[in-house]
Structure 1
């Protein structure tokens, strides 16, 4: 698990196709690797990757065909910059939100404009993910935990402050850039609970406990009474 608080910006050093998969070498810059060992997880642009070799100035990781199919990793080339975050430890502060490192889809930057010292971006998400994105909710973009400023259809807006621009690769974004998106994990589980699809094979689930609007209202989570 991760928090979406980027610890360093690294660089792609080498990409090697091996049997249809990709082996990736990354230089990690200021990321402290002293406590990293083989088999540990590091998020690269929001994708949870396993360390398979530690050459000293970074690490190697294998990228499966499944990951290539659902992320923008197929576009990575030597020299590209990437956001890096080591896996969350039990003693770490949860400064962002709970991030799994499992990308849900690929978005596209469709707008960028200056706003004081900040920059506002418009991102277009895949239609299937738009229902999980809410104003003032959380979303992960290339591994960065961000607050959604507004939503219109499948597009959402982000306001990126100077510190985030300095510490991540977001300041490099231009219109047309593809980005990895991970929606809020809680939103996915809520949908699952409301759908009731987990018990489709049950012939009689009338007595089964479950989440409903009535139950949420009863306990003060909605305006319904």
Structure 2
């Protein structure tokens, strides 16, 4: 588990194809690896990766086909800057929100605008994730825990203050950029709970207006 508070910016030092998947070497910059052991988890742009080698200047990890297919990891190149966060410990402050490091989908930056000293972004999420994104709710973008400041269909707005721009890779974002999205864990669990017994029949596609009306959550 992670908090979504980025600890350092690293960069991709090597990408080595390995039988259909990829082994990646991430240079970790100022990230303190003194307490990191082989097998520990580190989030790279919000993707939970397992350290399989620790050469001293960073770590090597294996990126599966599943991760390549479900995230924007395949967009990374040698030298790409990446957000880094070590796994949550029992004594860590939960400065953001609970983040699993399992990407739910890939979004696209559609607008970037200056807003006083901050920067306003509008990001388009995959249609199937729109129902989990709520005004003033939490969302993770490339591993960064952020507050949603506006929602319009599958698009949502973020206001990024100078500190966050300086401590993450969001300063690099321009329209057309693909980003990893992880929706709020609580929203996913709430949806499953509301399905009740229907969650076990394997036929439900999730919550929709019809389901909510049939079960008394909506009134005509």
Unaligned runs of at least 5 residues, structure 2 = 203-211
Partner of 1:100: 100
Partner residue, 2:45: 45
Structure 2 match to 1:200: 201
Query: 1:50, 1:199 → 2: CA distance?
Result: 32
In structure 2, C-alpha distance between the alignment counterparts of 1:60 and 1:169, rounded to whole Å:
20
| Mapping for residues 125-164 of structure 1, pairs under 5 Å | 125-164=125-164
Give the TM-score normalised by the residue count of structure 2.
0.91
Q: Deviations over 1:135-160 (max 9, x none)?
A: 00000000000000010000000000
CA distance in 1, matches of 2:36, 2:44: 15
SS at structure 2 position matched to 1:146: strand
Q: Match of 1:65? A: 65
Could you tell me which runs of 5 or more consecutive residues in structure 1 were left unpaired when the two chains were aligned: 202-211, 218-223
Q: Computing the radius of gyration over CA atoms, which structure comes out larger, 1 or 2?
A: 1
When normalised by structure 1's length, the TM-score is 0.89
1:65 & 1:120 partners in 2: Cα distance? 33
1:56 matched residue in structure 2: 56
Q: 2-side partners of 1:58 and 1:200: how far apart?
A: 46
Distance 1:58 1:199 in 2: 43
SS state at 1:158 partner: strand
In the comparison of the two structures, how many residue pairs are matched? 205
Cα distance in 2 for partners of 1:117, 1:60 equals 37
Per-residue deviation, residues 87-123 of structure 1 (Å, max 9, x unmatched): 0000000000000000000000000000010000000
Deviating beyond 4 angstroms after TM superposition, the runs of 4 or more aligned structure 1 residues are none
CA distance in 1, matches of 2:53, 2:181: 27
- SS of the residue aligned with 1:176? coil
- Between the aligned partners of 2:55 and 2:100, the Cα distance in structure 1 is 26
